[in-house]
Structure 1
């Protein structure tokens, strides 16, 4: 599905395309799931032996994770992960003496996870022939850059702007202006592609940058939400530019 909102070949004057990272280029949900369960395996914890399904464990884990990550200004990423596991294992009555290692093991697995969104490599290969490419991502430097390297896509991008590094996160206009300054381009010269209306669409709209909504779950849009383009598959981007 390609929804070419206000599309005209004569108006395609972009010099660069900026992408969101998580759930746009890399599948964050699958990468995180792999790290959460992989950490248990590395510490010899069997959910089956405790009569607990992966679904139940992940639900409890995500509940505590969302609570603890609100304290990310107080604790380190490894500490937050360790705290999340401690609370999850306690609630599910799973005992282990290896809890002190959980944070480091999680990040080691997560940072080397490379689950692409479908057709990412092909799309970037084609677009890189004609456009400058960049990334704006909310996240941690210790995670985002290694994950791009593990996925083998880091070489496509001229600039990678991570919120932790500059102190501003999407949808703050500052992070978009920072990326534009690094590229030495104006908003009119750039298309931004992302999966989040709350962070990507809202931020791009504030700086008057055209936005392509990667509607990966085919969600219905509110009437007031009007991205320049909307796609359901990344391959659809090639239809816009060819």
Structure 2
């Protein structure tokens, strides 16, 4: 195999975050007596959440603050008499149940038995560990590295230092970072000096400043690269 170790992003690379998010929003709103809340406010929530996660990538907000602030902003925007802290707790509990996989993820991991596999993800530790442990991929990864546990987030080099130390890796030429985000996964891998593979199923336009080593539309294309 061309690479000894594959570092996978989790959300929207192997795990379907959109489905997990929809599941969590729906059940949280139902729990608080608003059965149509997910339908009514999902678009607004996603816009707010995306902006805050960008702030997190760039070090302007902590994950602890983010998890409550997104609902604080949502409820303020729509005059909802809900407590952001309590809603966030319920939402995260339901989000941890979101073990939905991207098409081809399980099959890909089964085919990669000759490689060491690990997850390196920006996210909330309890949620990410719950989702991965509850999924068909629970026994696949040698390590699950969550930004909240390391003190760094992609694209910071510190999270890659942590991953290399945790896995005992020394040869950067034998490690591949695979993810869907140019700004966190691909930029992070580039900054660290490892090869990168951009999972871009929707054919989004690239960036002249961020150039992945490879680009794929479906997960099974990764096998051709690695072999």
Q: TM-score, normalised by structure 1?
A: 0.80
Residue ranges of structure 1 left out of the alignment (5+ in a row): 1-11
Equivalent of residue 102 in structure 1, options 87, 104, 115? 87
From the superposition, tell whether residues 84 and 142 of structure 1 become closer, same or farther in structure 2 (CA, over 3 Å).
farther
From the superposition, tell whether residues 175 and 88 of structure 1 become closer, same or farther in structure 2 (CA, over 3 Å).
same
1:133 equivalent to 2:122? Answer no
Q: TM-score, normalised by structure 2?
A: 0.84
1:118 equivalent to 2:107? Answer no
Residue 145 of structure 2 corresponds to: 161
2-structure distance, mates of 1:84, 1:180? 37
1:239 equivalent to 2:218? Answer no
Cα deviations across residues 153-180 of structure 1 (Å, max 9, x unaligned)?
1311111111111101111111112111
> Larger Cα Rg: Structure 1 or Structure 2?
1
Superposition deviation, residue 145 in structure 1: 0.7
Superposition deviation, residue 76 in structure 1: 7.6
CA contact (8 A) 2:119 2:143 kept: yes
RMSD: 2.6
2-structure distance, mates of 1:32, 1:220? 25
From the superposition, tell whether residues 157 and 100 of structure 1 become closer, same or farther in structure 2 (CA, over 3 Å).
closer
From the superposition, tell whether residues 68 and 207 of structure 1 become closer, same or farther in structure 2 (CA, over 3 Å).
closer
From the superposition, tell whether residues 87 and 18 of structure 1 become closer, same or farther in structure 2 (CA, over 3 Å).
same
CA contact (8 A) 1:72 1:80 kept: no
Residue 195 of structure 1 corresponds to: 180
* Segment drifting more, 191-200 vs 181-190: 181-190
Cα deviations across residues 172-196 of structure 1 (Å, max 9, x unaligned)?
1111121112222221111111111
Superposition deviation, residue 232 in structure 1: 0.4
Aligned residues: 220
From the superposition, tell whether residues 180 and 76 of structure 1 become closer, same or farther in structure 2 (CA, over 3 Å).
same
Residue 26 of structure 2 corresponds to: 37
From the superposition, tell whether residues 203 and 44 of structure 1 become closer, same or farther in structure 2 (CA, over 3 Å).
same
CA contact (8 A) 1:216 1:233 kept: yes
From the superposition, tell whether residues 125 and 88 of structure 1 become closer, same or farther in structure 2 (CA, over 3 Å).
farther
Superposition deviation, residue 40 in structure 1: 1.3
Cα deviations across residues 28-82 of structure 1 (Å, max 9, x unaligned)?
12211221122112233133xxxx882x5112223444577765467483x4465
Residue 58 of structure 2 corresponds to: none
Superposition deviation, residue 218 in structure 1: 0.8
2-structure distance, mates of 1:238, 1:88? 45
From the superposition, tell whether residues 236 and 84 of structure 1 become closer, same or farther in structure 2 (CA, over 3 Å).
same
